[in-house]
Amino acid sequence: MGVIKVWCTYFSVLSCVTALDHKKQTQPMAVTDQINIQDITSDNIVEAIHAKVQQYKEEPMYYLRIGKVNCLIEVLVNDMPVYKSYELSNLASPLRINSSILKSGIQTVTVRMYPVGDLIKEEYEYGETITQLGDASAVSITVTQIDKQSEMDFDDEHEVMKHRSPTTDAEGEVFAGSGLPFYEYSFEFTAEVPYDLSENSWGNAADLQQLKPTYLEEEALTYYRTFLQEFKKGNKDYIAKMYFESLSVQAQTYYHSKDEIQEMWDEELELLNNPSIEPQPIKDYELVLYAGGGGCLFTS
């Protein structure tokens, strides 16, 4: 399963589409508290984002250490997809999740579990197709926190909580979803962060569930096709406008310095300038809503 990146970040699809009508800017932008996205270009996006990011004496970073057995998984934080594993192997490094934490308080982690299908046969050349989760299927997640202003060594890491997928027996050995083709569960933890982006991001985005599905689908497809066209042209200024809000939130939640913001934007430009990357037309897709209906993406 692959994911085509058509995430209309932090606004409704309508907001994304109306942003397509813009004029290419050639003059330097005067950075103010109120930044007009139509003024964003590839040349000034780093400066504009840097002007918005606040630094703090303490800058808590949150991570998930994820382990799984006899299953494939998807993990969401506050209904935002943060991790997908459709392989037998496990995630080696902790997964940082600040970009899905908009403010202090209760955070929700959702885990979706699937059977391994033909992966064991493909990996070891024996066995059979597995279409159901088993007694031994399990997911373990440890939430950790570390201050970015610290040395960020192992000794600076603080364990917030540990959680394991539900079981039915006293010993905790029999998975609650054994025999099912799919199982989903959630748990919560408390995070303390110095920023509050709940009013300036997908935290207060329009609810796309209120739109007619056919209309939403057509608007999303129009957005994707326009994005694909501009990507093929190598239109850096267009990409900068489309990514400005999402990169701004990412920069704030990870307390990025100007150099880190520049590195983040350089990575996007590297993709844009890579001749080996061939954007694919969207087909055989499913439109999926995330963030409480505040955003959507296509999966295929």
C-alpha distances in Å from residue 206, one per residue of 32, 74, 294:
26, 25, 6
Percentage of residues in the chain having pLDDT higher than 70: 84
The answer on pLDDT for 28 being more than 90 is no
Name the pLDDT band for 294 (thresholds 50, 70, 90): low
Token readout for 259 is 């150099």
pLDDT at residue 171 in the model: 87
Rounded Cα gap, residues 261 and 126, in angstroms: 48
Percent of the chain with pLDDT over 90: 63
- Mean pLDDT value of segment 59-71: 97
Mean pLDDT score of the chain: 85
CA 238 – CA 266 distance, rounded (Å): 15
The residues, ordered by sequence, that sit 6+ positions from 243 with a Cβ below 8 Å of its Cβ are 45, 268
CB-count exposure of residue 178 (10 Å: 0-12, 13-18, 19+):
middle
Q: What is the DSSP letter of 203?
A: G
What is the per-residue pLDDT for 298?
62
User: pLDDT band for position 16 (50/70/90)?
Assistant: very low
Kindly give, in sequence order, each residue whose CB lies less than 8 Å from that of residue 98, ignoring residues fewer than 6 positions away. Answer: 61, 62, 193, 253, 254
Read off the pLDDT of residues 143-184 as tens digits, 9 standing for 90 and up: 999 999 998 888 899 999 999 999 999 888 999 999 999 999
- pLDDT category at 204 given cuts 50, 70, 90 is low
Question: Who's near 268: CB < 8 A, 6+ residues apart?
Answer: 239, 243, 247
Average the pLDDT over each of 90-104, 147-161, 208-222, 259-273 and give the range with the smallest value: 208-222
245-269 mean pLDDT: 97
Segment 65-75 shows an average pLDDT of 97
Sheet holding 72-77, edge to edge: 80-85, 72-77, 105-114, 183-191
Q: Which of 40, 42, 38, 64 is nearest to 52 (CA)?
A: 40
| Torsion from C-alpha of 234, 235, 237, 239, nearest 10 degrees | -80
- Model confidence at 208, pLDDT cuts 50, 70, 90, reads confident
Q: Does residue 250 or residue 291 have the better pLDDT?
A: 250
The pLDDT, as a whole number, for residue 101 is 97
Q: 74: which strand partners? A: 84, 112
First vs last C-alpha separation in the chain = 6
Confidence of residue 34 (pLDDT cuts 50, 70, 90): low
Does residue 274 sit in helix, strand or coil?
coil
Three-state SS for 99?
helix
